[in-house]
Amino acid sequence: MARIANALPYAFDFDPARTALIVIDMQRDFIENGGFGEALGNDVRPLQAIVPRVARLIETARGAGLAVIHTRECHAPDLSDCPPAKRLRGKPSARIGDDGPMGRILIAGEPGADIVPELRPLPGETVIDKPGKGAFYATPLMEVLTGLGITTLLFAGVTTEVCVQTTMREANDRGFEALLVEDATESYFPEFKSATLAMIRAQGAIVGWTATTDEIRTALDG
């Protein structure tokens, strides 16, 4: 067993052999200049800033033998898995499925839907394409985790208050222990990230725990 003594709201114990790192939606459309995130009027620089830290976290997980799972929010080219209630958001000229600087926005197989090059998955690592905010909805994620014998999930990625938090809550409802890596997640809105961290660990870790990349590295180094 490994222990993150300074995790919040209290120490977090986990078995590395039954733990997976899930990296949520570190995609070009959300992170790079000219992508969907920026088209919605957001400053993408805070998301760009965590890329080296997420890379370090992934390398730490790989080195410790943890399963590493990547997710991408994207849709079928015909938008059959994107309800109007989701698509009709944002600027009229920059909605899901519209043409953007990196191909059609959030469409599977388009350059913008891909993971940023610095965090590219290794051959054999699981990549989950998800049509919703949560990574369990309409995906094989539960089957993948069950097949690997996973009981604990570490989370990184973007954005903290939307896809990351949604997936953590889904995981909690399915019986997984979950921890969000505080400095390997980000939001376009700093106050949203702060509020999400507080919500997750409130009431004795009602959704899960939080800790830093360095604290996880220390725990895995034993």
Tell me which of 82, 163, 183, 193 is the catalytic residue: 163
Tell me which of 29, 82, 130, 193 is the catalytic residue: 130
Q: Tell whether omega for the bond before 92 is within 30 degrees of 0, i.e. cis.
A: no
Reduced to 3 states (helix: H, G, I; strand: E, B; else coil), residue 190 is: helix
Neighbours of 47 (CB within 10 A): 27
User: DSSP strand E in the chain: where?
Assistant: 2-4, 12-14, 19-24, 67-73, 99-100, 103-104, 126-130, 152-158, 177-186, 209-211
Tell me which of 25, 29, 114, 129 is the catalytic residue: 25
Residue 25 a catalytic site member: yes
- Give bridge partners of residue 121 from the DSSP assignment: none
**Please, what sign has the CA dihedral across residues 151, 154, 155, 156?**
negative
Residue 74 a catalytic site member: no
Residue 114 a catalytic site member: no
Catalytic residues: 25, 130, 163
